Structure 1
Amino acid sequence: MAQLLLVEDDVLLGEALKASLEQDGHAVALARSAAQAKKLWQAVRFDLCLLDIRLPDGSGLDLCAGFQQERDTPVIFLTANNTDEDIVRGFQLGCDDYVTKPFAPEVLLQRVLAVLRRTGGAPQMIRYQDLEIDLDRQVVRRQGMTVRLTATEWKLLERLARSRGRVLTRTMLLEQIWDVEGSFVDENTLSVHIRRLRQKLEPDPKNPRYVVTVFGLGYTFGEAP
């Protein structure tokens, strides 16, 4: 679990992002001003900061500059400022990514995960009951025995496991596992891969406890929320 500092003055957006990031397994401290962000920064050693640029009492750019002087913490800017000048300025100050509004929450989750993975803040091992998922080596073990998965089965399991506590819809999984590679598949393809994954992982594939169906919505890893 990564410790994240989210600085966003828009109340509704800030709460929505906080909930989404927490569902993805992170601990999130939300600040709605530069002053609040500075207090939290002094109290907690964060793994990643997500900074809005336009704040009621200052600039996220100034916050980033100050934070970087104290410790080398990764920064992602979340902002409506989308000019080339703004983006270049952000990277000059040492940000690791620059996400312009509006954006889909799932896009932000993937950007956060990518930065944490690069900087060592992302979890490399997920354990649930007698299942052990080594994200770094892409190895799965159940009761200490290696379970051999295909590349697609691994992608499915990894995405579900990283999103533990959230329901991933069938559309989300289709887009994330296949469409990003430019291939079109139908929902039956997903069902086939889910069934094969369960046959390899589950003690009782007809009563799954790892890859769980949430009827009418999609799938989740472990107990349904």
Structure 2
Amino acid sequence: MKNILIIEDDKMLNKGVAFALQKEGYNVISAYTKQEGKKEIDNNEIDFLLLDIGLPDGSGLDLCKEIKNNIDFPVVFFTANDTEEDMIKGFESGCDDYISKPFSVEVLKFKINAILKRSDINAKKLFIYRDLKIDFDAKRVYKRDKEIKLSATEYKLLEILCKNKGKAMTKEILLDKLWDYNGNFVDENTLSVNIRRLRKKIEDDSKNPTYIITLFGIGYIIGE
């Protein structure tokens, strides 16, 4: 089931769109401010974002840029301003499409379905960062084209970090995502052990890691 996040401060519009999309089989998360939206993105795996440009605590354009610098999922703007200049600003910020207020829910559903279909077809199945390569379909990891053998938990942990390249992943988020993997209980100590094992396998110098970076007091990040 695809997760759609709506960041729109008009509560009636937000709830109405959420209801329509839930009937289509989507899991919908609603936020009403920029900060609420950022929190939901940090705590959930989002597949699609419907974003209002004018939010009470900041610009949707700025939020879109911020998101696209770290994660790549489709973004469609809600806007009452559909001038050529405004649309260009939106596309420059990284959005995938616009829908102008007021709009037809049927048209919105069509746009979402079409964009998600294209997104699935074009989804990256191969992650490459420096001399590290992960084939997500085959669940295989390579360093300088030599395969590295990982345990199931090590692979899942590396996959989560790589799919969120450039994004700080807190220990709480990682533990939540690893919680039920293969029915194993994962606590903070187990997480630390798996990070150490991963570093020994993928880092040139595990004591001075350059792939999996520790963010003290926060968690871990892969990439710049």
SS at match of 1:70: coil
Alpha-carbon offset, residue 52 of structure 1: 0.4
Q: Deviations over 1:81-129 (max 9, x none)?
A: 111111011111111111111101111000000110000199xxxxxxx
Q: Deviations over 1:38-70 (max 9, x none)?
A: 100100121111100011001110110110111
Alpha-carbon offset, residue 35 of structure 1: 0.7
**What is the aligned partner in structure 1 of residue 222 from structure 2?**
none
**What is the aligned partner in structure 2 of residue 56 from structure 1?**
56
SS at match of 1:16: helix
**What is the aligned partner in structure 2 of residue 106 from structure 1?**
106
Q: Deviations over 1:163-219 (max 9, x none)?
A: xxxxxxxxxxxxxxxxxxxxxxxxxxxxxxxxxxxxxxxxxxxxxxxxxxxxxxxxx
Query: Counterparts of 1:1-225 in structure 2 under 5 Å?
Result: 1-120=1-120
Q: Counterparts of 2:50 and 2:11 in 1: how far apart (Å)?
A: 15
% same residue: 44
Q: Counterparts of 1:73 and 1:3 in 2: how far apart (Å)?
A: 11
SS at match of 2:77: strand
How many residues align structurally?
A: 122
Q: Counterparts of 1:48 and 1:15 in 2: how far apart (Å)?
A: 16
Q: So what's the TM-score if we normalise by structure 2?
A: 0.53
Q: So what's the TM-score if we normalise by structure 1?
A: 0.53
SS at match of 2:102: coil
Looking at both structures, which has the greater relative contact order when contacts are Cα pairs under 8 Å and sequence separation is at least 6? 1
Corresponding letter in the other structure for 2:11? V
Q: Deviations over 1:22-42 (max 9, x none)?
A: 111100110000010010010
Alpha-carbon offset, residue 79 of structure 1: 1.0
Q: Counterparts of 2:23 and 2:63 in 1: how far apart (Å)?
A: 27
Corresponding letter in the other structure for 2:44? V
Corresponding letter in the other structure for 1:39? K
Q: Counterparts of 2:34 and 2:25 in 1: how far apart (Å)?
A: 25
**What is the aligned partner in structure 2 of residue 204 from structure 1?**
none
Q: Counterparts of 2:26 and 2:85 in 1: how far apart (Å)?
A: 32
Corresponding letter in the other structure for 2:27? A
**What is the aligned partner in structure 1 of residue 142 from structure 2?**
none
Corresponding letter in the other structure for 1:64? C
> After TM superposition, where is structure 1 displaced by more than 6 Å over at least 4 residues in a row?
none
Corresponding letter in the other structure for 1:20? A
SS at match of 2:20: helix
Q: Counterparts of 1:35 and 1:65 in 2: how far apart (Å)?
A: 15
Alpha-carbon offset, residue 13 of structure 1: 0.5
Q: Give the root-mean-square deviation of aligned CA atoms.
A: 1.5
Structure 1 unpaired stretches of 5+: 123-225
Q: Counterparts of 1:85 and 1:40 in 2: how far apart (Å)?
A: 30
